[in-house]
Amino acid sequence: MPYFCNTKISHMKILVLNSGSSSLKFQLFDMPQTKVLVKGLAERIGEATSRFKANDYEVNQPIGTHKDALQLLTTYLLDDKNQIIKDTSEIVAVGHRVVHGGNTFVQPTLITEEVKDKIKELFSLAPLHNPANLTGIETAEEIFKDAKQIAIFDTAFHQSIPVENHKYAIPETFYEKGIRKYGFHGISHQYVSREANKILERTDTKLITLHLGNGASATAVRNGKSFDTTMGFGPMNGLIMGTRSGDIDQSIIFYLMDKLNYTLDEIQTILNKQSGMKALAGSNDLRDIETATDNGDNQAQLALKMYAGAIKKYIGNFTAQMNGLDALIFTAGIGENSQKVRELVCKNLDVFGIEIDKKKNKNPKDYQGDISGQDSKVKILVIPTNEELEIAKQTFDLMQS
Ligand code: ADP
């Protein structure tokens, strides 16, 4: 097998899969050139209104299962018109995003039966994500029989968080049972922190990466390693998100159960799906909230103030913990696109050496993403995340090694 030789591989087709419960996102890369050959998704799998899209090709038809979706993809890849592959064996590796790796997985991992069993054991920690990720793996094994299947875990980057930052102050027996901070969005935090270090031209850096999408988390990255992060045992903690509350006082949960008679399921739904910006401003889409603030909506203004405030609290927290800060990085849907959020977050942080350039903040792309003010001691960077590329790179590295 060519990829086990010591010689460097000049071209390797790597398929990246991110499977959700009813969706499958994919990208086919030519590595190490990082060229994207195909990009697309199947969504609403299992429903009558499913859609499949690959590059410019799009079809609306029922897609019953993930296997049907991957079969549509292979048909597209093998189609003479598209000239992408002649045989599925050309795809030498499939890199899978797996959300939860628990304490077990700290790096990219070649998937074996044993690894799949461990991913199953972790279902209880990520009941919404890991089962869907495993479905993706098992389907890819059936369709791309010759390819190595590799798992890249969203929690792995955070396994470097030192014990004083990942342990909760609760009885030891729970720690022994795996109750600790795991953190999420690791693939994104790792990708943008590495890109930031390239811009700073050093690796001995103190960074805060802000992944602000529908879910949101901030990570303190010291010397290229995750040092602390805002999400914890699960993904509800930390920043205010689209529909998740972020940090709340635990006693609220007991009060809701004991005094207001909500069930556990109802409380889960409230905190996961009905809270955050949706609760504060009526929408989890930040574009709606920005429009409402522009129209003088007080609720929306308060929501944005609270949203930015939660981020500022962690900037202070992480800067203190790292005893300094070299760069603040904005990424994901909101971080990359919302001028207003970036401005609010950076406002009145000159005490930390954070000063934004308002003009550059309008069009970060015109300034290679560097929106720092002239006197800012901390670099403020807007770096588009690319989790698929990070998965492809890590998969490629593992195949090379
Ligand atoms: P996900 O976590 O689902 O991957 P994304 O990273 O795509 O989320 O981010 C989704 C969020 O980004 C939404 O709140 C959306 O409103 C916001 N967003 C996308 N484009 C813009 C924009 N141009 N301006 C402000 N917010 C935006």
Give 43-96 pLDDT, tens digit per residue.
999 998 999 999 999 999 999 999 999 999 999 999 999 889 999 999 999 999
If you write DSSP's letter for every residue of 236-301 in order, what string do you get? TSSS--SS---S--THHHHHHHHTT---HHHHHHHHHHS-HHHHHHS-S-HHHHHHHHHTT-HHHH
Which of 321, 339, 322, 320 is CA-nearest to residue 330? Answer: 339
Q: Determine which residue's CA is closest to atom 8 belonging to ligand 1.
A: 213
Cα of 32 vs centre of ligand 1, distance in Å, is: 29
Spell out the residues 6+ positions from residue 21 whose beta carbon is closer than 8 angstroms to its own. Answer: 128, 131, 132
Contact 255, 290 (CB under 8 A): no
Global confidence as pTM = 0.94
Cα of 401 vs centre of ligand 1, distance in Å, is: 36
CA dist., res. 140 & res. 28, Å (int): 13
Q: Which atom of ligand 1 is nearest to the CA of 215?
A: 2
Contact 120, 134 (CB under 8 A): yes
CATH domain 12-153 topology: Nucleotidyltransferase; domain 5 (3.30.420)
* Catalytically active residues, by annotation: 154
- Options 1.10.390.10, 3.20.20.70, 3.20.20.140, 3.30.420.40; CATH for 202-387 is 3.30.420.40
Contact 30, 393 (CB under 8 A): no
Q: Determine which residue's CA is closest to atom 13 belonging to ligand 1.
A: 285
Cα of 320 vs centre of ligand 1, distance in Å, is: 29
Cα of 332 vs centre of ligand 1, distance in Å, is: 7
pLDDT for the residue 1: 40
CA dist., res. 223 & res. 226, Å (int): 8
Question: 286, 343, 388: which to mutate for ligand 1, most atoms within 8 A of CB?
Answer: 286
pLDDT for the residue 7: 57
Question: 304, 334, 340: which to mutate for ligand 1, most atoms within 8 A of CB?
Answer: 334
CA torsion sign, 49 to 50 to 53 to 59? negative
pLDDT for the residue 2: 43
Q: Determine which residue's CA is closest to atom 7 belonging to ligand 1.
A: 333
Strands 57-60 and 51-54, bridge-based pairing: antiparallel
pLDDT for the residue 8: 66
Q: Determine which residue's CA is closest to atom 12 belonging to ligand 1.
A: 333
Which of 341, 264, 370, 352 is CA-nearest to residue 315? Answer: 352
| Sheet order of strands, 225-229 included | 225-229, 216-222, 206-212, 327-331, 379-382
CATH 3.30.420.40 positions along the chain are 12-153, 202-387
Question: 43, 128, 284, 338: which to mutate for ligand 1, most atoms within 8 A of CB?
Answer: 338
Cα of 277 vs centre of ligand 1, distance in Å, is: 12
Q: Determine which residue's CA is closest to atom 25 belonging to ligand 1.
A: 338
Ranges of the chain with pLDDT below 50:
1-6
Core vs surface per residue 172-209: b (16+ CB within 10 A) or e: eeeeeeebbbbbbbbbbbbbbbebbbebeeeeebbbbb
Instruction: Count CB neighbours of 97 within 10 A.
Output: 22
Strands 51-54 and 35-43, bridge-based pairing: antiparallel
Q: What share of the chain is helix, strand, coil (3-state, %, to 5)?
A: 45, 20, 35
Cα of 75 vs centre of ligand 1, distance in Å, is: 32
pLDDT for the residue 5: 45
Give 291-333 pLDDT, tens digit per residue.
999 999 999 999 999 999 999 999 999 999 999 999 999 999 9
CA torsion sign, 199 to 204 to 205 to 211? positive
Spell out the residues 6+ positions from residue 305 whose beta carbon is closer than 8 angstroms to its own. Answer: 344
Which of 217, 221, 220 is CA-nearest to residue 239? Answer: 217
Give the residues surrounding ligand 1 with Cβ less than 6 Å away.
213-215, 242, 285-287, 290, 332-334, 337-338
pLDDT for the residue 10: 82
> Residue 214, class by beta-carbon neighbours within 10 Å (0-12 exposed, 13-18 middle, 19+ buried)?
middle
Instruction: Count CB neighbours of 99 within 10 A.
Output: 24
Q: Which residue has the tokens 């729970």?
A: 174
